[in-house]
Structure 1
Amino acid sequence: MGRAFEVRKVAMAKTAAAKSKVYSKFGREIYMAAKSGTPDPETNQTLKRVIERAKKEQVTADIIKRAIDKAKGGSDENYTEIRYEGFGPGNSLIIVECLTDNTNRTLSDVRTLFNKAYGKLGVSGSVLHQFEHRAVFEVKATEDQILEVLLENDINVLDVEVEDEFVTIYAEPSEYGKIGDTLKEVNLEPTQEMIAFLPMTTVEIKDADEFAKFERLVNGLDELDDVSNVYHNVVIEN
């Protein structure tokens, strides 16, 4: 995997989650995508992309079907998307994306973890301006192959990075669906794809105690059922 994208992937705090957490996360996302549009992925592009990401995370067909059937059945269960921004140990900046049916519970859980790590939640926008919101695709291909596909399909990208046999494409989130569909049409299956917050600058936490607090905070956030994604600006050595 390309070094450039590996650095950014680590900065997204993608800690190893239990399968049950992954299943729960995608179950909610699929349910909400199906409920907010049509329950057919062929006519609902948002649902289609969520299902494709779920399959890459090895979410079973049964879980996907149950989430769609739940939306078809007219369930009144509803989830709210909410984002928290905070300051963690060692000058770390953290963004927490949640999908919850109880915002009071989620806020309490997130705030408690920040307090335990001697960090604090910030107001909306206090951290966000230090990150870029990007659609990211990593593809095993040559640079010439990717550039040709992008030009032929009139796709606007912000940057293309090459590392070994991998090419990483960065674009505005609005281009996510178009890029994904185009790559599939030309049989270039991404090894990684997501819409994520990427830090503009990174920090190293050299103090062992501070780093331990940071790790506990990020791992704790990642384990919360209501948390979908955690992003931060800390460089973590593999």
Structure 2
Amino acid sequence: MAGHSKWANIKRRKGAQDAKRSKIFTKLIKEITVAAKEGGEDPDANPRLRLAINNAKGANMPKDTIERAVQKGSGADSENYTEASYEGYATHGVAVFVETMTDNINRTVANVRSAFSKNGGSLGTNGSLEFIFDRKGIFNFKLPDGADIDQLTLEIIDAGAEEVEVEDGYMHLSCAMEDFGAVQRKLDDLNIEAENAELQRIPQNRIPLNDEAFEEVYKLIEVLEDDDDVQKVYHNIDATDEQMERM
């Protein structure tokens, strides 16, 4: 991102998302429910559930809400969700990757297609954006009191971290998708609980937009993010600080 580190952008984006907390909670609850249904209600034996719970805690979700989501997923009458992704382009050549989780795939396809078409974009075929986005593990956590930062950095790099930055008492790191589990296990061994840990799609190159073009493209992104079936939306906009604040 222009003018600041990508970690600052991730933090700023998270702050913007916190303003839509109810939407964020809906998506996190769905992930917890699916994780519990697929792998059981014990987070120690279910890495996906453990990760989902940690992310929910990082978003300040109440403990009882998390517990209800786990119980819902582990129940015999829990809903069946299908995970699907969609790839396309917004106006001005901006690539948009959409991850969904739905109990009605026909509804989701129709909504995503409508969002693109009504906002000047177009859906592409699956795999059409593989050359634009890299799948990376992203971790953000508060540094333990008295931590030896150099030693901690070396241990995490040995586990598979590719980039490590320290900022405002937090450590931010990325790793290859294949090393996500190894890095997670290393943090567990160090008794470090990440406030946010997830697989993200990181663009290899970003597109700068003037304010008018940015507002135009962001309308599509906003419509997609407001859809309850949509879990995550990725794009390759090279946004300025001012544009990120508006988001």
TM-score, length-scaled by structure 2 = 0.83
1:1-238 maps to which residues of 2 (within 5 A)? 3-7=5-9, 15-16=17-18, 18-139=20-141, 144-150=150-156, 154-161=158-165, 167-190=171-194, 192-206=196-210, 208=212, 210-238=213-241
- State the identity as a percent: 33
Distance 2:103 2:56 in 1: 21
Contact (CA 8 Å) 2:55, 2:196: kept in 1 or not?
no
CA positional deviation for 1:125:
1.1
Q: Which runs of 5+ in 1 are unaligned?
A: none
Q: 1:17 to 1:162 in 2, by over 3 A?
A: closer
* Alpha-carbon shift at residue 211 of structure 1 (Å): 2.1
Q: Deviations over 1:85-137 (max 9, x none)?
A: 01001110010000001111111111111111111001011113201100012
Task: Quickly say closer, same or farther: Cα 1:114–1:16, change in 2 above 3 A.
Answer: farther
Q: Is the 8 A contact 1:137 1:193 kept in 2?
A: yes
Q: Residue 104 and residue 17 in structure 1: after superposition, are their counterparts in 2 closer, same or farther (change >3 A)?
A: farther
How big is the shift at 1:63?
Answer: 1.8
CA contact (8 A) 2:160 2:182 kept: no
Instruction: Look up the SS of the partner of 1:128 in the other structure.
Output: coil
* CA distance in 1 between partners of 2:112 and 2:5 (Å): 31
Assess, with a 3 A threshold, how the Cα gap between structure 1 residues 166 and 39 changes in structure 2: closer, same or farther: closer
SS at match of 2:234: strand
2:82 & 2:136 partners in 1: Cα distance? Answer: 22
Q: Are the equivalent residues in 2 in contact too, given 1:11–1:231 (CA < 8 A)? A: no
Number of paired residues?
A: 234
Is the 2:100–2:232 Cα contact (8 Å) retained in structure 1?
A: yes
Which structure exhibits the higher relative contact order, with contacts defined as CA atoms closer than 8 Å and separated by 6 or more residues? 1
TM-score between both structures, scaled by the size of structure 1: 0.86
Q: Contact between 2:54 and 2:193, CA under 8 Å: does it hold in 1? A: no
Query: Displacement, 1:8?
Result: 5.6
> Structure 2: which 5+ residue stretches go unaligned?
242-247
Displacement of 1:186 in angstroms is 2.6
Shift of the 36–67 alpha-carbon distance from structure 1 to 2, 3 Å rule, reads same
Letter in 2 for 1:48: R
What is the rounded CA distance, in whole Å, between the counterparts of 2:49 and 2:140 in structure 1?
Answer: 21
Q: Which moved more, 1:131-140 or 1:186-195?
A: 186-195
Q: Show CA shifts across 1:167-224 (max 9, x none).
A: 432212233233234224435454543210000000011261x322211111111100
